[in-house]
Amino acid sequence: MLTLYYHPLAAFCWKPLVALYEAGTPFTAHMVDLSKPEDAAALESLWPMRLFPVLKDGETVLPESSIIVEYLDLHRPGPRRMVPADPHAALQVRLWDRFFDMHVQAAMQEIVWDALRPEPRRDPQTVAEQKAKLDRAYATADRHLAGRDWVAGDFSMADCAAMPALFYAGAIHPFDAHPALSAYFARLMDRPSVSRVIDGAQPWFQYFPFHDRIPARFLT
């Protein structure tokens, strides 16, 4: 039985969820609440880093969102691969998967961690630096997406990575000034797999420190 250990609010969990919903692959979603010692211990027994998502497929246990998506392509494929079989096309998917994880999601996470600290420990300089990184990433993505429907050819793992990164980062530091990126984000949000992930996360948005900046259309 395929089981995904995850939390519905966690951005990195959204990537494999989108891939699973795109493929229509049956799986069990096992929510992990790290505030519960028993949940934390169970996750640590699967992956000592105690980070989600983690996929369990029989005796196989895999952490890391991109690795999970690639595993699903190999062992639980849907009608369309999330990473193309062609090695050159696959490189582009992996490049942009890394781009959204490292240059959008990572910067967003730093701003979130800062907001979660007690007021005296917050660091405005760090926040400003991360927003500058987001501006550079937004401009890069906007230039790349001009004239494209999806990040790297057909809908792929790169788009699965872009979805949570842009959703949360855009609430913190909007990218409205970038027309190609904004149009791409609108296409992403119209995708049924994406809507399903967001619907599952809605009850938890109240715990996101910038929840008041999430557009109202995602809260109903």
**Domain 87-191 is found in CATH 3.40.50.300:** no
Q: Where are the domains of the chain?
A: 87-191
Quote the mean pLDDT of the chain: 97
Backbone angles phi, psi at 57, to 5 degrees: -130, 95
DSSP per residue over 1-48, as a string?
-EEEEE-TT-HHHHHHHHHHHHHT---EEEE--TTSHHHHHHHHHH-T
Confidence check: pLDDT of 151 > 90? yes
Angle, CA of 91, 94 and 98, to the nearest 5°: 140
pTM, 2 dp = 0.96
pLDDT score of 138: 98
| Of residues 198, 193, 190, the one with CA closest to residue 218 | 198
